[in-house]
Amino acid sequence: MEKFQESMYKLIVETSTNLPKDVRRAIAAAKIRENAGTRAAMSLDTITKNIKMADDNVSPICQDTGLPTFKIKVPVNVNQIEMKKAIKKAVAEATSDTKLRPNSVDSITGENSGDNLGEGTPVIKFEQWENDYIDVRLILKGGGCENKNIQYSLPAELEGLGRAGRDLDGIRKCIMHSVYQAQGQGCSAGFIGVGIGGDRTSGYELAKEMLFRSADDVNSNENLRKLEEYVMENANKLGIGTMGFGGETTLLGCKVGVINRIPASFFVSVAYNCWAYRRLGVKLDPATGEIQEWLYQEGEDVDFDKMKEEAAAALEEKTEVRQVTLEAPITEEQIRELRVGDVVTINGMMHTGRDAIHKYLTDHDAPVDLNGQIIYHCGPVMAKDGEGNWEVKAAGPTTSIREEPYQGDIMKKFGIRAVIGKGGMGKKTLQALGEHGGVYLNAIGGAAQYYAECMHKVEGVDLMQFGIPEAMWHINVKGFTAVVTMDSHGNSLHQDVENSSLEKLAQFKEPVFK
Ligand SMILES: O=C(O)C[C@H](O)C(=O)O
Ligand code: SF4
């Protein structure tokens, strides 16, 4: 088994940087469905460009490399204790090589362990089997989509859909609702794994297990096959679209599994995975630990480069989008000029700030003058170059809604004019944008390579005690592009899409599976 650690390192690097073929095909199909020039088409263009960049740079597709979760099947007589140790070493090594972001945080003190190791991380689960090879599967599922997982206890009353009973039709309603409630916050278009039955724990376990199925397999259970097909056909009619911008594709895959339950409980558990669906697997020789075969890599590959050229040609014909360039410090007048739908290109300084920073800034001074400045909701992957200077390795936006309790007050307190994030914010922030003169800019979630490329100089860092993802990085950017989705005139694209998708959800109220 001398090669096992090396094989695990390869599996981690490939999973983080190279999206599997079945996922690429699903994204390519979505791209073909969108009309050129729409926000959804432009977002998918950025996404496919990012996938290609991650390939070329061998760098994380998304900066949030999640909670590494390994599922392993072993023949009897394989030493699981040694395998666990080797996996942990491989995880630490991949973290120090910036293929994984340091993501293991003490839940009480907030301290980041720095190497992805800690109580409960990574997750490693073993099962014995009678085959003569080892099967290791890895999923890197980020926090934004994990937060959109949902568990229903039937019977339930669901917004838009009415009563969901303890039958196949009730399950259908839960799944449709799960897609609606995620909106764009889990970086749609997403993939869902659904677990029917079990208890609260085993139900979610099954839902996540479903994410290990191939995107294009067919369910052998006839009822579940019909259910999966129904969801795939109808969830896209919700019109949530890529990043919640509206559009033809909201869901890229739906896999449903079932286990028995106990009489009093009836759970439907849904695991939501973003488009950056990073899961791979390998078959290993149990004697040497060497990789014999890569999984999820069968079938046709997609040439995103060719698709990009076609999209660029189509885009040139559509020029009605207003383009604005901004550089901090930004004035209130400049902000009040902006309207939902404008595309903003940023040059100059921006400052990262996410969960820990927002909490901190409520009762502390800012380490730098934020007047007229731009805050970027982002937890980057960073590395030091040969001369000890920080370099951005991956830096897409994080889900902004978590900062909703703080954002408006902090913008007013420090004079911040623009926040960049993804998934949108709520009523409190929208009101503050109007009162203070602020704007919310939506960047494309998961496009970590695409944005890292615009970040040409790290000018400094403060509050490093919060760990790399949560520190405040001061970054000089060139050509950072985002869309205005909430403006100072009370407009919110997120609110509009949520309202219209709720109306559309109501068309699925009538029973389908009797
Ligand atoms: O933690 C992050 O960088 C992003 C997170 O996965 C999110 O989607 O909000
Ligand atoms: S930022 Fe988006 S793409 Fe990245 S892990 Fe979070 S949900 Fe997924």
pLDDT tens figures, 250-272: 999 999 999 999 999 999 999 99
68-101 pLDDT per residue, tens: 999 999 999 999 999 999 999 999 999 999 999 9
For 364-399, b where at least 16 C-beta lie within 10 A, e where not — what string?
eebbeebebbbbbbbbbbbbeeeeeebbbbbbbbbb
pLDDT in tens, 422-434: 999 999 999 999 9
Average confidence (pLDDT) over 485-511: 98
Separation CA 103–CA 121 (nearest Å): 9
Q: Is 187 in the pocket of ligand 2 (CB under 6 A)?
A: yes
Are the beta carbons of 423 and 188 closer than 8 angstroms?
Answer: no
The pLDDT of residue 419 is 98
Name the pTM for this structure.
Answer: 0.96
Tens-place pLDDT, residues 440-460: 999 999 999 999 999 999 999
Residue 181 has pLDDT above 60, yes or no: yes
284-319 pLDDT tens trace: 999 999 999 999 988 989 988 777 666 666 655 555
Q: Quick one: pLDDT at residue 321?
A: 87
CB contact at 8 A, 303 and 347: no
**Paired tokens of 12:** 């981690």
CA 399 – ligand 2 centroid, Å: 8
What are the backbone dihedrals phi and psi of residue 94, each rounded to the nearest 5 degrees, phi first?
Answer: -65, -30
Please write the tens of the pLDDT for every residue from 335-352: 999 999 999 999 999 999
Ligand closest in space to the Cα of 144:
1
Note the pLDDT tens digit of each residue in 210-234. 999 999 999 999 999 999 999 999 9
Percent of the chain with pLDDT over 90: 94
Q: What is the mean pLDDT of the chain?
A: 96
Q: Do residues 223 and 231 touch, judged by C-beta distance below 8 A?
A: no
Q: Determine the Cα–Cα distance for residues 127 and 108; give it in Å rounded to an integer.
A: 32
Q: What is the pLDDT of residue 481?
A: 97
- C-alpha 193/C-alpha 184 separation (Å) is 17
Cβ(458) to ligand 2 under 6 A?
no
pLDDT of res. 315: 58
**Which ligand ends up closest to the CA of 445?**
2
Question: Which ipTM score applies to this complex?
Answer: 0.99
**CA distances from residue 484 to 26, 132, 434, 454, 496 in whole angstroms, order as listed:** 28, 55, 14, 19, 14
Residue type, 222: E
- Please report the atom of ligand 2 found closest to the CA of residue 276: 3
Is residue 514 helix, strand or coil?
Answer: coil
**Span 497-513, average pLDDT:** 98
How far does the centroid of ligand 2 lie from the alpha carbon of residue 127, in Å?
A: 29
Q: Which of 62, 140, 148, 420 to mutate to test the pocket of ligand 1 (most atoms within 8 A of CB)?
A: 62
Q: What is the pLDDT of residue 312?
A: 61
- Residue 421 Cβ contacting ligand 1 at under 6 Å: no
Going by C-alpha positions, the residue among 144, 184, 115 that lies closest to residue 355 is 144
Kindly write down the DSSP assignment for every residue of 180-237, as one continuous string.
HHHTTTT-SSEEEEEEESS-HHHHHHHHHHHTTS-TT---SSHHHHHHHHHHHHHGGG
Q: Which helix (H) or strand (E) holds 92?
A: helix 80-96
